[in-house]
């Protein structure tokens, strides 16, 4: 461990009564890690700071995926420097991928930071804060590999009706644009029994929806850390089927699968397990085989489209979404046209599109043929235009159909002015609906009719046809946020809808 000194606070002060705030950047992994950071701090005696109030401890859970992530983050940390100067009792901790990457250099750039911790040792945060306070020295602790599966740590989740459940961490692939393998390490799979116990416990506490989470979720089964769990290529499909046996679990999602490892047993399990949602987010990244090769992604466009065909044959109403990177080094006009061809053929209901930018530390950053910004931008806009039209047409085709919604909180910017509320359909689409005279609570379930469509959402201004109050709705209304005990038992949380970062598969 490396330490650097600066004025710290009164060492006699303990965590009790101190408040914290966690600021999250990046992908779903980080959102879920932040729930664990909150759980750890609360277990240590900290309280969540009230909205808008200055916290005694500010934790930055960072992301290193985007090129300008560093600059933005250091900018945000520097905003706290004056506060730190006037209140030496407050503490600043920085964790996540950027901390794993920059390590002690982070303190050179931001010497007012108290604690730097990595992606493999988030469980150390309370001790590091305590040590920094006690020793009056900044603490840097970065572990090179995973110390404990993060789900064994306590978590304070964000809501009462839906939860992330990690099934694996890390990734064994080597996509040339991606920093994840360098920062998150090789894949480690969690035992099926532990995952199912967490899901059951969540459901016992009212949770209706779980999202199984992994960098490469369908590779699950070949990288168990425990010697006693047999390696099993069919483990992911089996896990989906086992989720189907859990009474009270209404919706199962997963993110993100890798096309190279997408097997037909997963499609069958999805189609045959009623609570698995008809939704698939499967990153394409490029429709050009030449570019896929340069990205070191081992599937080809034909294989990708074949998976989609088989998914649609088994689940005709499945909503399929993707991630696409435009302007990878060496991408020609013809390569880009090949991406457009796949996009037109696949008819994604939505696509998260990214302009390629160099990510320091990735092999692609060193490749020849980096494209001028204007070329990337022009292609990006063309792709956006094609995809927006498809998204709009796919959504418009749903006008007049009935949708079951899990009512969500805070998803629509215009909800206040239109008196609409928001929910997610089983296929993951965002729907803004009119509750009418029905008193509707987040976490409850209703059925309504789609009356309008836009590229990124549906409108349902028709009367509510069916409304069901749920235990999740009760818990939400009571402000309850279940939490873990630290023994691997889960807490409740709503997966915030987070834009994929472009590193996901």
Positions that interact with ligand SF4 (CB under 6 A) = 171, 173-175, 178, 180-181, 215-216, 258, 503-505
Can you read off the two tokens belonging to residue 230?
């047999």
Strand boundaries in 173-232, DSSP class E: 188-189, 209-213
Task: Name residues whose C-beta falls within 8 Å of residue 408's C-beta, 6 or more positions apart in sequence.
Answer: 422, 423, 424, 442, 494
Q: How far is residue 401's CA from residue 319's CA, in Å, rounded to a whole number?
A: 15
Smallest distance, ligand SF4 to C-beta of residue 388, A: 25
Q: How far is the CB of 297 from ligand SF4 (least distance, A)?
A: 7
| CB-nearer residue toward ligand SF4: 210 or 284 | 284
Closest CB 325 distance from ligand SF4, rounded Å: 10
C-alpha–C-alpha distance, residues 202 and 11, integer Å: 38
- Report d(CA 301, CA 279) in Å as an integer: 20
Q: Which is nearer to ligand SF4, 119 or 216 (CB)?
A: 216
| Of 139 and 218, CB closest to ligand SF4 | 218
**Would you say 73 or 97 has its CB closer to ligand SF4?**
97
> Is 171 annotated as belonging to a binding site?
yes
- Reduce the secondary structure of 176-194 to three states and give it as a string: CCCCHHHHHCCCEECCHHH
Q: In terms of CB distance, is 330 or 455 closer to ligand SF4?
A: 330
Indicate left, alpha or beta for 284 from its phi (over 0: left) and psi (-120 to 50: alpha).
alpha
Please list, in sequence order, all residues whose beta carbon lies within 8 angstroms of the beta carbon of residue 477, skipping any fewer than 6 positions away. Answer: 441, 443
Closest approach, Cβ 503 to ligand SF4, in A, equals: 5
Locate the DSSP E strands across 275-338: 279-281, 319-326
180-192 burial: b if 16+ Cβ within 10 Å, else e? bbebbbebbbbbb
CB hemisphere CA count around 415 (13 angstroms): 18
**Would you say 503 is a known binding-site residue?**
no
Q: Report in angstroms how near the CB of residue 39 gets to ligand SF4 at its nearest.
A: 25
Judge whether 331 and 152 are in contact, CB under 8 Å.
Answer: no
CB of 324 to ligand SF4, least distance (A): 13
Query: Would you state the structure tokens that stand for residue 410, as one six-digit string?
Result: 């805070």
Using only C-alpha atoms, the chain has a radius of gyration, in whole angstroms, of 23
User: What distance in Å separates the CA atoms of residue 60 and residue 115, rounded to the nearest whole number?
Assistant: 10
Q: Which residues pair with 452 in a beta bridge?
A: 459
- Tell me whether residue 277 is annotated as binding: no
Least distance (Å) from ligand SF4 to the CB of residue 175?
3
Helix (H, G, I), strand (E, B) or coil at 103: coil
| 175 in a labelled binding site | yes
The nearer residue to ligand SF4, 165 or 503, going by C-beta atoms, is 503
Q: Which is nearer to ligand SF4, 181 or 493 (CB)?
A: 181
* CB of 417 vs ligand SF4, minimal distance in Å: 39
Look up tokens 């016992």; give the residue.
204
For ligand SF4, give the closer residue by CB, 133 or 258.
258
Q: Where on the phi/psi map is residue 278: left (φ > 0), alpha (ψ -120 to 50), or beta? A: beta
How many other C-beta atoms are found inside a 10 Å radius of the C-beta of residue 95? 28
Q: Is 243 assigned to a binding site? A: no
Is the CB of 291 or the CB of 503 nearer to ligand SF4?
Answer: 503
Q: How far is the CB of 27 from ligand SF4 (least distance, A)?
A: 9
Map residue 107 onto helix, strand or coil: helix
Binding site as annotated, residues for [4Fe-4S] cluster: 27, 63, 97, 171, 175, 178
Binding site as annotated, residues: 27, 63, 97, 171, 175, 178
């Amino acid at each position: 461990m490396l330490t650097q000194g600066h004025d710290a606070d009164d060492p006699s002060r303990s965590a009790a009564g101190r408040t914290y705030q966690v600021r999250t950047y990046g992908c779903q992994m980080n959102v879920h890690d932040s729930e664990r950071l909150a759980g750890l701090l609360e277990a240590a005696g900290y309280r969540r700071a009230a909205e808008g109030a200055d916290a005694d401890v500010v934790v930055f859970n960072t992301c290193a995926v985007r090129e300008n992530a560093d600059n933005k983050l250091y900018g945000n940390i520097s905003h706290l420097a004056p506060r730190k100067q006037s209140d030496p009792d407050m503490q600043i901790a920085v964790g996540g991928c950027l901390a794993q990457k920059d390590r002690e250099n982070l303190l050179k750039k931001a010497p007012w930071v108290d604690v730097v911790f990595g992606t493999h040792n988030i469980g150390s945060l309370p001790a590091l804060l305590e040590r920094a306070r006690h020793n009056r020295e900044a603490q840097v602790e970065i572990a090179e590999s995973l110390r404990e599966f993060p789900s064994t740590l306590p978590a304070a989740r964000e809501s009462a009706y839906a939860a992330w459940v990690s099934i694996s961490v890390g990734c064994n692939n080597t996509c040339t644009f991606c920093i994840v393998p360098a920062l998150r390490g090789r894949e480690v799979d969690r035992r099926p029994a532990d995952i199912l116990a967490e899901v059951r416990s969540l459901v016992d506490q009212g949770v209706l929806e779980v999202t199984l989470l992994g960098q490469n979720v369908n590779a699950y089964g070949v990288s168990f850390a425990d010697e006693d769990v047999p390696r099993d290529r069919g483990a992911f499909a089996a896990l989906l089927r086992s989720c189907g046996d859990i009474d009270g679990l209404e919706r199962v999602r997963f993110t993100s699968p890798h096309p190279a490892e997408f097997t037909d047993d997963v499609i069958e399990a999805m189609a045959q397990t009623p609570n698995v949602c008809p939704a698939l987010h499967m990153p394409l990244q490029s429709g050009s085989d030449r570019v896929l090769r340069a990205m070191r992604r081992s599937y080809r466009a034909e294989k990708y489209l074949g998976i989609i065909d088989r998914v649609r044959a088994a689940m005709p109403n499945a909503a399929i979404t993707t991630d696409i990177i435009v302007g990878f080094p060496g991408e020609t006009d013809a390569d880009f046209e090949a991406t457009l061809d796949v996009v037109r053929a696949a008819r994604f209901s939505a696509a998260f599109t990214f302009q390629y930018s160099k990510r320091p530390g990735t092999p692609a950053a060193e490749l020849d043929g980096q494209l001028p910004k204007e070329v990337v931008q022009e292609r990006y806009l063309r792709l956006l235009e094609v995809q927006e039209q498809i998204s709009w047409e796919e959504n418009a085709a749903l006008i007049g159909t009935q949708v079951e919604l899990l009512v969500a909180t805070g998803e629509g910017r215009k909800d206040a002015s239109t008196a609409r509320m928001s929910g997610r359909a089983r296929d993951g689409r965002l729907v803004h609906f009119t509750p009418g005279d029905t008193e509707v609570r987040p976490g409850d379930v209703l059925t309504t009719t789609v009356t309008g469509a836009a590229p990124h959402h549906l409108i349902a201004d028709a009367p509510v046809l069916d409304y069901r109050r749920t235990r999740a709705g009760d818990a939400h209304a009571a402000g309850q946020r279940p939490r873990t005990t630290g023994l691997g038992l889960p807490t409740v949380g709503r997966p915030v809808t987070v834009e994929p970062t472009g590193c996901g598969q």
